[in-house]
Chains A and B, each alone.
Chain A
Amino acid sequence: MAKPGDLLRVLRPKSVNGLLRLYAKNPDALLFAGGTERATRLKPDSVSAESKIVIYLGKVEELSRIRRSQRYLEIGSCLPISRIVSIGRHILPEALSTALRSIANPAVRNLATLGGNICAAIPNNDSIAPLYAIDGQLEIRSLSGSRWVPISRFFPGAGETVLKEGEILFRIRIPLEEWDYQVFRKVSGSHICSHPLLNFCGLARFSKGILETVRFALGGLNNTVFRSLELESRLEGKTLPLSEKEVESLLAGADELLEPLTDSSFSAAYKRATGLRLLRWFIENIHRENR
């Protein structure tokens, strides 16, 4: 733990191996890439209570790569959001692209990274619900090797990630599937500085009036992201348009499963009502899209 007055020491690895060695030696170091979250916590002449050592990731070229295969887009964790949107134009799933374009503002998106948006461990950060819906995978690396974790298992609890000592988020794997309908919506408070309250991502694939695949994820209700494979499977195979009974049955099922928590700005009841409205809006728009 750093003490007030401790001078900040900055380490600048130039390769992933160098980074992992430094991080293994300095497990309390603060990893710093875009810095949009961290910079406001650094004190001019000392450091925050977090650490007296910063490992700056901006010189590790492997963390800013983007690679496309037939089935996936793999994005280095330190690639700025604006670069991802620009390079991923026409490749990224539209719902994820919309979510990334809605993060903060253009200048912040030039600094902020997708890895930072994920590792901040704030489930209503804008990239998280789309990554849940598209079944994003995360590659975690350490000196002892590499492991892949689905994003749905990355956040074990409030403000926590599964990253262990010496581990870093190396890249994010985005499955490149075709969707007939995909949406991202976020609901924010009215104040310019307010963090998104809820964000919603919905994806649907249909053929000849039959819903083949449906996925949806809702972030911001509590300390995790809501996604229910059971509710999704209830819709699959249904003929469009869904009957009123089918829609109401799905919403009733969601109502039972949602576990919103009251926070400093919004009540659990308001979050529940807004979450259900977003889900209804998505389902009703699938009808329209299939016409």
Chain B
Amino acid sequence: MKINFLVNKRPVTINSSPGRRLVDILRIDLGLTGTKEGCGEGRCGSCLVLMNGNLVNSCLISAFKLPDAEIVTIEGYAQSKEYANLKQALEVTGAFPCGFCSSGIIMATGNLLAENSSPTAAEIREALSGNVCRCGDYDNIIAGIRGGAAKPQSRRYGKTR
């Protein structure tokens, strides 16, 4: 089927069988390899993207749900000022030793900070409850996020409607 949708604010048209997963379309068809695949069943958070402004696991999104959708991946979020602040703060604490989980955790964090600009450690843990860091570096990640949260955030990124 032919599918038209937006990825990082750019119109995209693909031909795909309806059952393919968004994570595969992003990585294979569109070359957006910042989105990772971990568990493939919505439990590890490596593949998180925004779909119509909502945080979702791209491994759980079938292609037939995509027509007219608006997707933001880590590559899109990386263009924002919020990302720059967060990146800087996470570099200070040295979070993400291996980096595999980083795109998913940053997408979940961006989504949290858009709603709550100064989250507590407990609120951050809840927001990241669907993200697995294989290195177990949660304390440094949370410290970094709290540092980044001190910087101003816009209302919500990636949502244009």
Residue pair B19, A36 in contact (C-beta under 8 Å): no
Q: Which residue of A lies closest to B104 (CB)?
A: A107
Q: Are the C-beta atoms of A7 and B64 separated by less than 8 Å?
A: no
User: Please, which residue of chain B has its CB at the minimum distance from the CB of A83?
Assistant: B54
CA distance A7 to B1 in the complex (A): 11
Q: Of the 9-residue stretches A19-27, A39-47, A64-72, A87-95, which lies at the interface with chain B? A: A39-47
A40-B41, A42-B19 are known contacts. Are A107 and B130 too (CB-CB below 8 A)? yes
**In chain A, what residue has the closest Cβ to B53?**
A110
Evaluate contact between B62 and A35: CB separation under 8 angstroms. Answer: yes
Known A10-B64, A36-B42, A39-B61; contact A106-B19, beta-carbon cutoff 8 A: no
Contact between chains at A193 and B19 (CB < 8 Å): no
What is the chain B residue whose CB lies nearest that of A40?
Answer: B41
**B interface residue count range (under 10 / 10 to 19 / 20 to 34 / 35 or more):** 20 to 34
B20 within 8 A of A: yes
Which residues of A (67-99) have their CB < 8 Å from a CB of B?
A: 82
- Interface presence of A175 (CB below 8 A): no
Interface residues of B in 45-90 (CB under 8 A from A): 45, 48, 54-57, 59-62, 64-65
Inter-chain contacts of B18 with A (CB < 8 A): 8-10, 54
CB of A111 within 8 A of CB of B60, answer: yes
B37 at the interface (CB under 8 A from A): no
How far is A41 from B130 in the complex, measured between Cα atoms in Å? 20
**Per-residue CB proximity of A37-62 to B under 8 Å, as 1/0?**
00110111111000000101010000
Asked if B154 CB lies within 8 Å of chain A CBs, one says no
Question: Which residues on the B side are within 8 Å of A47 (C-beta)?
Answer: 19
Q: A106 contacts B20, CB within 8 Å?
A: no
**Is the beta-carbon distance between B129 and A106 smaller than 8 angstroms?**
yes
A144 at the interface (CB under 8 A from B): no
Within 8 A of B (CB), among A150-206: 192-193
Given contacts A104-B42, A110-B55, contact A56 B65 (CB under 8 A): yes
Q: What's the least CB distance linking B4 to chain A, in Å?
A: 15
B17 touching A111 by the CB < 8 A rule? no
Which residue of the partner chain B has the closest CB to A56? B64
Query: What chain A residues lie within 8 Å of B61 (beta carbons)?
Result: 35, 39, 111
A192→B43 CA distance, assembly (Å): 8
Contact B43 A193 (CB under 8 A): yes
B145: Cβ under 8 A from any A Cβ: no
Query: Which residues from chain A contact B43 at a C-beta distance below 8 Å?
Result: 104-105, 192-193
User: Provided the pairs A8-B17, A39-B59, A105-B130 are in contact, do residues A110 and B54 lie with their beta carbons within 8 angstroms?
Assistant: yes
Interface residues of A, Cβ cutoff 8 Å to B: 7-10, 32, 35-36, 39-40, 42-47, 54, 56, 58, 82, 104-108, 110-111, 192-193
25 A-B residue contacts at CB 8 Å?
A7-B17, A9-B18, A32-B62, A35-B62, A35-B65, A36-B60, A39-B60, A39-B62, A40-B59, A44-B17, A45-B19, A47-B19, A104-B43, A105-B43, A105-B45, A105-B131, A107-B55, A107-B130, A110-B55, A110-B56, A111-B42, A111-B60, A192-B132, A193-B41, A193-B43
A-B contact sample (13 more), CB < 8 A, given A39-B61, A56-B64: A7-B17, A8-B17, A8-B18, A10-B64, A40-B60, A42-B62, A44-B20, A104-B130, A106-B111, A110-B56, A111-B57, A192-B44, A192-B132
